[in-house]
Every structure is written in C-alpha cells, then in structure tokens.
Amino acid sequence: MTLYAYIAQSLDGYIAGPNGEIDWLHDVENPESSDFGFTKFFEQIDALVMGRKTFEKVATFDEWPYNKPVYVISSTVTSLPSKYYGKVILLNLKPSEIVEKLESDGLTNLYIDGGSLIQSFLSEDLIDKLIITTIPILLGDGIALFGKLESCIILNYESTEVFVNQLVQTTYSVKRE
C-alpha cells in the first residue's frame, strides 16, 4: 500500500489561515483553468482519507468533488448528514488501524488529506510520498502543514513541476532504511 499526502501550502508553510481560511488558494491567476496535476494524481488513488476539519471545509463546497470512496477520520463525530451516505465512511481509528483495515479491503493507494491527519500519519511513519504545492503568498499565521515531530523524517527528492509560472509542486518520498 502507498500513502500519499497531496496538499497546498503558503510559502511560509501554512495550509490555511488562522481561522481555517483557504480563499487565498484561489487568488492565483489561472487563465487556462489548470487543475495543477490533481486529476492525474487522483486517477491513481483508490480512496481518500481525510480528517474531520477537512471534511467540514469540503462539505461547504457547492458540489461534492470526489468520485471515489472517502473515509472521514474523527473521534468526535458519530454520524454524518444523510446527503453523504454512500459517499463518505466515518471511521474512529488510529492511522495504523486505518491502513490495516483499508489494506484488508483491497485498497492499495490512499490519499491522506488534512493537516492534523497528515501529521498523525507522519508520526507513525505511514506516509510514503509527499506532494506539496507551494503558493507564492506569505500568510504570516495560520494552520501549519507540519507540526512538532518526535524525530526527523528524511525525504528523498523526486521531482518538481511549475504551474502557471507561479506554483511549485514538489514530490518527495519518505526515506526508509
């Protein structure tokens, strides 16, 4: 199984503003309506695993953006609105338990989304690849992509792609011995 973190951040390392604002993600001029490689990435994914806060943000969108299974991880939410039945599966499991369950269900490529969830998967050494798109904006404060780690995580650089002459998307794999 391969676990991917695919996320955008400001140049100073924030994935959202202090109150969860993500409007700045749409401030980049995009005359060709590029999806910045998301469709290509998402085609290789079997399911998306997201945290509660990320789900709550996605639930405010006009349309549900995913056509693959979505697992929402929460220890506080016990049920979801009925409009998400058949689209979202709610789990209250630790990252290693999530991987074990979804692997036993036959899934091989997972997209991990949400700052806290990515951090918890990293702390258990479960993320295999990080695909980080850096937006040229300095927020100065907000929700950081990476939190405190118990030990350093060594990454191997794989590739960089530039979109609309502004966004820098870098892919790293986690180095394991």
Residue 118 lies in a domain: yes
In a domain, 115, yes or no: yes
| Furthest C-alpha separation in the chain | 45
Residue 23 inside a domain? The answer is: no
- Residue 66 domain flag: yes
The answer to whether residue 28 is domain-embedded is no
Whose CA is closest to 49, among 66, 73, 65, 25? 73
pLDDT at 80: 86
Alpha-carbon distance values, 69 to 19, 61, 85, 115, 144 (Å): 28, 17, 11, 20, 27
> What confidence tens digit (pLDDT) does each residue in 88-143 have?
999 999 999 999 999 999 999 999 999 899 999 999 999 999 999 999 999 999 99
What's residue 122's pLDDT?
93
Within a domain: residue 143? yes
Residue 29: alpha-carbon gap to chain centroid: 22
pLDDT tens sequence across 5-54: 999 999 999 999 999 899 998 888 888 888 888 999 999 999 999 999 89
Confidence of residue 151 (pLDDT cuts 50, 70, 90): confident
Domain count, the chain: 1
Tens of pLDDT, residue by residue over 48-76, are: 999 998 998 898 888 888 999 999 999 99
Instruction: Give the pLDDT of residue 126.
Output: 96
Indicate which CATH number applies to the domain containing 62: 3.40.430.10
Q: Quote the domain boundaries for residue 165.
A: 2-16+35-174
pLDDT given for residue 32 in this prediction = 82
C-alpha dist (Å) from residue 136 to 20, 144, 146, 149, 154: 18, 16, 18, 25, 25
Sequence-distant (≥ 6) Cβ neighbours of residue 154 within 8 angstroms: 174, 175
